[in-house]
Structure formats: structure tokens, C-alpha cells
Amino acid sequence: MGSKVLIVDDDDELHILYGLYLRGESFTILEAFNGEEAFTLMEKDKPDLIVLDMIMPVMDGETFLRMIQGKGELKKIPVIIASVNDKIPAELLKFGNVRTVLRKPFTIQLLSETIQKQLAS
């Protein structure tokens, strides 16, 4: 579909795996390894959807999410949280852009489906 998906995760292997699969599904993949990088990227190239890992160095997912709320255009981008953590603070789930939470590990198909579903809505 040509949609741009920003993967924010500190695990490079996951980037490779996500990228391989999702590019095969015709997504354009942007890669960031932490929240800060994600910000920088987004300023230049606005994605259509963000897949966000929570635990990252430099700036973690929670901080990133909070920061996004202040950025007019950016806060509208749908976010899929992908995390190992059981406990996501309820507050974060209330943000308008957070659509759903996928618990790692998930199958790559599930990720793909979820992305498609969220982009469709």
C-alpha cells in the first residue's frame, strides 16, 4: 500500500526481521533505535503509523509518547505499542494515538495484520 511505518525498537535483529517481512508486504519501513532518533526521523519524514517498543535507551517509549502529545501533527499518528512489559501505565493507554498493544513476542503476521487494520480505520 506504500504506507510508511516507523519501527522504534532498540533490537536490531527485530528491525531486520520486521523489515524483511513488512517490506515484502509493500510497506515502507523507517527505522529508529530509540525515542530520540524517532523524533529526529519524524521531523523529516512523517510516517503513517508507529510501532513503538517501550524499553529503549536514551529515550524510552513512555517518554517518547508523552513528548509526542505536545506535537500537533505528530500526535495524530496511530501508535501500536509492542512490548514485553505486562504493565503499561493506564495513562498512556488513554492517549488518543495509542491504538493497541501487542505483547512480545508476537507472530510477524499478527503485526502485519494489526498494522493493516489500524491503517484502514
Partner 1 sequence: MSLPFSEVNPDEIPPLKTPGAVPGIASKSDAKPGLFRLSIRFKLTFPVLIFVSLMTYFLFNTTFRLVRQLAIEKNTSRLLATAEVYAETLKVPLLLNAPQDVKDIMEWMGSRSDVLEVRLEDSSGKVFESIHPEAQIPEVVKDPKFNGVFTVSPDTYAAAVPLMAEERNLGRVVVLFSHLGFDLELKNIFFERLVMAFAMMVLLALLSMGVTWLAIRPIFALQQTVRKILAGNLNARARIRSFDEIEDLGEAFNEMVSRLSSSLDRLRSRTEALEESEEKFRQIVEGASDIIFAFSGEGELMLLNRGFAGHPREEFFRQGFSLFAALNSEDSRKVFEAAMDEVCRRKEPMLNVPLTCVNAQTEEEIFYLLSLTPLFDHDGNLKLLQGMMRDVTELRRVEMMKDSLIRDVTHELKTPAAKFQMTVDWLEKELDRQGLKDSFKDLLKILHSNIDRLMNTVSSVMDLSKLESGSVQIDRVIFDLREVLQQVFQDLEPLVRQKGLALEASLGSRPLMVSGDKNMLYRLFSNLIGNSLKFTPRGKIMLRAFLNDGKVRAEVEDTGVGIEPEFLESIFERFVQKTAASLGIGVGLTICRDIARLHEARIWAESEGLGKGAIIKLEFLPQHLTN
Is residue 102 near partner 1 by the rule CB under 8 A? no
Query: Least distance to partner 1 from the beta carbon of 17, Å?
Result: 4
Is residue 20 near partner 1 by the rule CB under 8 A? yes
Cis omega (within 30 of 0) for bond into 78: no
Residue selected from 57, 89, 96, 105 as contacting partner 1 according to rule CB under 8 A: 105
Which residues in 28-40 are b (16+ Cβ under 10 Å) and which e?
A: ebbbbbbbbbbbe
Residue selected from 92, 102, 108, 119 as contacting partner 1 according to rule CB under 8 A: 108
